Amino acid sequence: MLHHLITRETIVLKDFVSNWKEAIKSAAEPLLKLGLIREEYVSAMIEIIEKLGPYVVLTPHVAIAHARPEAGVNRLSMSLLRLKESVFFGMGKEVHLVIVLAAEDNQLHLKALAELASLLREEENVDKIIHAENPDEILTIIRRYSAED
């Protein structure tokens, strides 16, 4: 499941961004280009973080940004932004990986999220993704945690 969502087309590699809002926008860009989300979804993700703080930083160095499906999701999708230099999300939360989760409902994405959680539980995986030089290195790790369907 996870390898069907995070693909070469939905991985963004950057050295740095100027702030967390730019990180969210950069991470969402492939999904916008593919028509999987609408611009208002990006705005909704930013507004939620402004309102609630950096709750999207779920593990060290990793943020999983999301909003309500009705905020602009066209199809279940995920993207991943890898930053070599961390970006500050507030409250001491520094992030190298920003994953955008765009779910159509409250159920469909759970399998992919479980696979992602297994992957992120291993600090070594996070470190390898942060230091990846190309999308294929990231995809190799993702495939190990993604069930064939």
Positions marked catalytic: 66
Two structure tokens written together for 10? 């939905």
Please classify residue 64 by burial: count the beta carbons closer than 10 Å to its beta carbon, then call 0-12 exposed, 13-18 middle and 19+ buried.
buried
Work out the angle between the directed axes of helices 135-145 and 123-130 (0-180°, nearest 10).
Answer: 160
* 144 Rama sector, left if φ>0, alpha if ψ -120 to 50, beta otherwise: alpha
* 18 Rama sector, left if φ>0, alpha if ψ -120 to 50, beta otherwise: alpha
Two structure tokens written together for 33? 């280009």
